[in-house]
With several copies, the nearest count.
Chain A
Amino acid sequence: MNAQVPFTAAEMMTVAASRLLRNGDVCFVGIGLPSAAANLARLTHAPGVVLIYESGPIGAKPDVLPLSIGDGSLAETADTVVSTSEIFRYWLQGGRVTVGFLGAAQIDRFANINTTVIGDYAHPQVRLPGAGGAPEIAACAGKVILVLRQSARAFVERVDFITSVGHLDGGESRNRLGLPGQGPVAVVTDLCLMVPDAVTRELTVTHLHPGVGAENVRAATGWKLRFADAVKETPTPTDLELDTLRQLQRRTALAHGRAPEA
């Protein structure tokens, strides 16, 4: 049953992202929004989803959202904890991860990701935190789902720096790189859901979240955005989704003294 109560755009984003995970997925989880969405999926329709965090926990089932990628709650609830080098070599590069769930500071029309610098690399306007595990996730996870807030600053024609490759220059260009993973299959924002076009690999809006118009999305995008022929409305969050998400965030706020992002 869909929710009668109001929900925020951030909640819609997290719920929409969580729906993209399947029960059998093995998900390599980035911190923040991806972690909230992945845990929401685990607590609702995908109880069997396996969550892997880059710090080493495999099969983490945290009761509250971690504030950092190596929180104790991840280790305590995991099936096992291995070294960080093993996580990257055996589990991610080894081809055991079906979905990589990532955030980004900047993405472009081919879903390339920038988390390195705004401006010139040698003389950056803003020095961002850097790659983290994203280049390896982008290369090796079976597929990649991106989740981030939409704005014209974040959604740019061409990223200043490709930290982690998406569909590169579109078309067959990613395939030619010979990477094991198929790359981004969806970008979920607080406004809409986009997927790469089957041929050009350009991001294309397929779903608008309830109450969002195409013009809102265009205004929050730094390129001339494509829309699918028949754009649908994202189903509103169900009571179960919304309740579960809010309880998760309440528990998290209680445990950490504050709510994490999303």
Chain B
Amino acid sequence: MAELTSLRAAVESLVRDGDSVAMEGFTHLIPFAAGHEVIRQRRKNLVLVRMTPDLIYDQMIGAGCARKLIFSWGGNPGVGSLHRLRDAVEHGWPHPLELEEHGHGDLSNAYVAGASNLPFAVSRDYAGSDLPHHSDAIRFIECPFTGERLAAVPSVRPDVAVIHAQKADRKGNVLLWGILGVQKEAVLAARRAIVTVEEIVDELEAWPNACILPHWIVSAVCRVPGGAHPSYAHGYYERDNLFYQAWDAISRDRESFLAWVKRHILETDGFEEFKRVLQEGVAKEVR
């Protein structure tokens, strides 16, 4: 049953040290505010699951929240590397990061299997690829009817899924639209789910067959306007491409990264103050 609550309270009660956490959103609706709150509350030893780790996990990995990453593409889209992810993998800073890697199709299938309460998913991937040689999470099985050899992947069943959406109503029913990624599957595959939303409305006014997450599959709904920044929320605001570019310099060395996290996340008391500090920084640069 969805509780309408603050993001701070939701993360306090629902994200625990050592949890597996899936924060999803494919370019669109990435739950950055929630990622910051996890850093702010200094969660540790998380197993992070996400198809496209993106800046949100670069920040969490650099801040020392993660012990393992399950992913399929870890870059800064259209810009280059995720420097904190690379530093963790290449140099073990701030500590070593275990990787479990997949292809997008495979990992999205693993969420589908999780949502379906199946232990594994099947696909036509990976014959000829080296990925199965370096992963215990890719195996091959035979079709019991045709004898064909197919790839299998274990389902993803996170302790917590965290997503951002456009709207919720006062009961906690959630509506999202545009690029949907695997958010619905992540929520259904997870034991607990936090949803941050742009706004809470009296009526969702959804169209037929809309992507709706009923309140009774969500643990907490938190109103966090702008909570997907610097990604975007279809119908609300655009992607901040300049921030994605700026992140390359901020994250490239450890000191500038740590200074940024300290000023923007650890020393702010929430996403509203984060936005104010960020705005001040931009204003300073312009001056």
Contact = CB atoms under 8 A, between A and B. Distances in A.
Are A and B genuine complex partners?
Answer: yes
Interface of A: 24, 26, 31-32, 50, 54-59, 67-72, 74-75, 79-85, 88-90, 92-96, 112, 116, 121-122, 124-127, 129-136, 138-140, 161-165, 168, 174, 177-180, 256-258, 260-261
Contact of B185 (A31, A83, A257): A83
Interface stretch (B36-44, B122-130, B271-279): B122-130
Nearest to A53: B179
A84 B51 contact: yes
Contacts of A116: 101, 130-131
B20 interface: no
B259 interface: no
Contacts of B245: 258
Nearest to B208: A81
B250 interface: no
Contacts of A93: 105, 116-118, 123-124
Contacts, number: 218
Main secondary structure of the interface of A (DSSP, over half): loop
Interface stretch (B5-13, B81-89, B194-202): B81-89
Given A130-B71, A134-B103, A90 B214 contact: no
Contacts of A71: 27, 239
Interface of B: 1, 26-28, 51, 71-75, 77-78, 81-82, 85-86, 89-90, 101-106, 108-109, 111-112, 115-118, 123-131, 134, 148-149, 173, 178-182, 184-185, 188, 206, 208-212, 214, 216-217, 232, 234, 238-239, 241-242, 244-245
Nearest to A58: B214
Contacts of A31: 77-78
Given A85-B112, A93-B116, A260-B78, A177 B180 contact: no
A133 B103 contact: yes
Given A50-B214, A164-B129, A179 B178 contact: no
Nearest to B184: A83
B78 to A, nearest CB: 4
A135 B129 contact: yes
A80 B123 CA distance: 24
Nearest to A56: B179
A84 B77 CA distance: 17
Contact of A178 (B127, B178, B179): B127
Contacts of A67: 77-78, 239, 241, 244
B106 A24 contact: no
Contacts of B208: 75, 81
A94 B73 contact: no
A139 B82 CA distance: 27
Q: Considering the complex of A and B, which 3 residue pairs feature the smallest CB-CB distances, nearest first? A: A70-B27, A165-B128, A88-B105
Contacts of A59: 214
Given A83-B180, A139-B125, A258-B245, A88 B209 contact: no
A162 B105 CA distance: 17
Contacts of B123: 89, 93, 136
Given A79-B214, A129-B73, 16 more contacts: A50-B216, A59-B214, A68-B77, A69-B27, A82-B209, A116-B131, A129-B75, A131-B102, A133-B72, A133-B104, A136-B106, A139-B125, A139-B127, A162-B129, A178-B148, A258-B241
Contacts of B73: 129-133
A168 B27 contact: no
